Amino acid sequence: MKHIVKSWDDYQKIYQYSVEQPQAFWADIASEFQWKKSWDKVLEWNFSEPNVKWFQGGQLNITENCLDRHLESRGDQVAIIWEPNDPKDQEIKLTYKELHQKVSQFANVLKKQGVQKGDRVCLYMPMIPELAIAVLACARIGAVHSVVFAGFSANALADRINDAEAKLVITADGSFRGAKTIALKDITDDALSHTPCVETVIVVERTKQVCQMQEGRDYWWHEEVASVDADCPAETMDSEDMLFILYTSGSTGKPKGVVHTTAGYMVYTYYTFMNVFQYQEGDVYWCSADIGWITGHSYIIYGPLLAGATTVMSEGIPTWPDAGRYWATCDKYKVNQFYTAPTAIRALMAKGLEYVAPYRLDALKVIGSVGEPINEEAWEWYHKYIGKSQCPIVDTWWQTETGGMMISPIPNVTPLKPTFATLPLPGIQPCLVTQEGKEIEENGVEGLLCVKYPWPSMIRTTYGNHERCKQVYFSMFEGKYFTGDGCRRDEDGLYRIIGRVDDVINVSGHRLGTAEVENAINEHDAVVESAVIGYPHEIKGQGIFAFVIVNDEISEQKLQKELKELVVKEIGPIAKPDRLAIVSGLPKTRSGKIMRRILRKIASGEADQLGDLSTLLDPSIVEEIKSLV
Query: Coil, strand or helix: which one is 456?
Result: coil
**207 vs 222: CA distance, rounded Å:** 14
Encoded one letter per residue, x for contact with ligand WTA by CB under 6 A and - for no contact, window 530-569 reads ----------------------------------------
262 is a contact residue toward ligand WTA (CB under 6 A):
no
| Nearest CA among 50, 216, 234 for reference residue 140 | 234
Contact of 169 with 122, CB cutoff 8 Å: yes
Q: How far is the CB of 233 from ligand WTA (least distance, A)?
A: 33
What residue type is 329 in one-letter code?
T
Looking at beta carbons only, is 58 or 509 nearer to ligand WTA? Answer: 509
The count of chain residues that interact with ligand WTA, using the rule CB under 6 A, is 23
Interacting residue with ligand WTA among 392, 484, 534, 577 (CB under 6 A): 484
For 412, what's the count of Cα atoms within 13 Å in the CB-facing half-sphere? Answer: 13
Identify residues 419-448 at the interface with ligand WTA (CB under 6 A): 421
Q: Which stretch binds ligand WTA (CB under 6 A): 47-55, 73-81, 288-296, 608-616?
A: 288-296
**261 vs 55: CA distance, rounded Å:** 11
Encoded one letter per residue, x for contact with ligand WTA by CB under 6 A and - for no contact, window 321-360 reads ----------------------------------------
**39 vs 56: CA distance, rounded Å:** 5
Looking at beta carbons only, is 294 or 586 nearer to ligand WTA? Answer: 294
Query: How far is C-alpha 591 from the geometric centre of its chain's CA atoms?
Result: 36
Encoded one letter per residue, x for contact with ligand WTA by CB under 6 A and - for no contact, window 7-36 reads ------------------------------
Identify residues 400-419 at the interface with ligand WTA (CB under 6 A): 400
Q: How much is the CA Rg of the chain, to the nearest whole Å?
A: 24
Identify residues 171-230 at the interface with ligand WTA (CB under 6 A): none
Q: How far is the CB of 337 from ligand WTA (least distance, A)?
A: 16
Torsion of CA 505, 511, 513, 519, to 10 degrees: -120
Q: How far is the CB of 143 from ligand WTA (least distance, A)?
A: 23
399 is a contact residue toward ligand WTA (CB under 6 A):
yes
Which residues make beta-bridge pairs with 396?
370
260 is a contact residue toward ligand WTA (CB under 6 A):
no
Q: For the chain, give the number of residues.
A: 629
Which residues make beta-bridge pairs with 549?
529
Contact of 595 with 561, CB cutoff 8 Å: no
- Which positions ≥6 away from 62 have C-beta within 8 Å? 139, 237, 243, 262, 265, 266, 302, 306
**70 vs 79: CA distance, rounded Å:** 10
Looking at beta carbons only, is 407 or 586 nearer to ligand WTA? Answer: 407
Looking at beta carbons only, is 133 or 370 nearer to ligand WTA? Answer: 370
Interacting residue with ligand WTA among 511, 564, 588, 601 (CB under 6 A): 511
- Which residues contribute to the site for ligand WTA (CB under 6 A)? 248, 293-295, 370-373, 395-400, 421, 483-485, 497, 499-500, 506, 511
